Amino acid sequence: MDGMQTLKFRLAENKDIAPLLKMINAAYRQQHDQSWTSEAGIISGDRINQAQLEALLQRQHSPSHDAQLLIAELNTQSHEEIVGCIALSYSKFDAEIGTYCIAPAWQASGFGQQVLQAAELYAIKHEPKLKTFTMWVLDVREELIAYYERRGYVVTGVVEDYPADADVGEPLVELKMIQMQKQVGT
């Protein structure tokens, strides 16, 4: 698993729903050997369901085009394999990043950094007046906060309760969401 391999990026399509559901839920909720981003032991239940993924794809094709789900693919021996994804939701001069994950078998390969960088570049092309990127990180995920800080994101001081009513899993510990932001061009 060579981290120097080049990923191909494209917008998600309806045909991708089944493999995306499997990959996203495994990446977020199952602990694997090389996984350091799993929420296993912190949150139970699925991270995303089919209806939520379908709604995201519908927003991608709506007249406002206010959201996209980018897929990262790797050309393996027999086919293009989905190895990661990242969602972008736009509001005025901001792009919120979410549903960001790498397939468990490909974690710790360097693909995460490629996916984040490609999403930022894509967002700037889609919304040339963009000023900030925003993301929300679980307060207990210190390793992820440090990872994003190394990529130019800063903790804003804005903290919200875990969205228990958003159908993204049940917290097993006390959780808060920390907002992180990055200025475009930094």
Name the packing angle between helices 50-60 and 17-29 (round to 10°): 120
The top-level CATH class assigned to 8-183 is alpha beta
The tens digit of pLDDT for each residue in 39-93 reads: 877 888 889 999 999 999 999 888 777 899 999 999 877 788 999 999 999 998 9
Q: Where are the domains of the chain?
A: 8-183
Question: Is the whole-model pTM more than 0.75?
Answer: yes
For the segment 112-125, what is each residue's pLDDT rounded down to a tens digit?
999 999 999 999 99
Residue 133, Ramachandran bin (φ over 0: left; ψ between -120 and 50: alpha; else beta) = beta
CB 71 within 8 A of CB 87: no
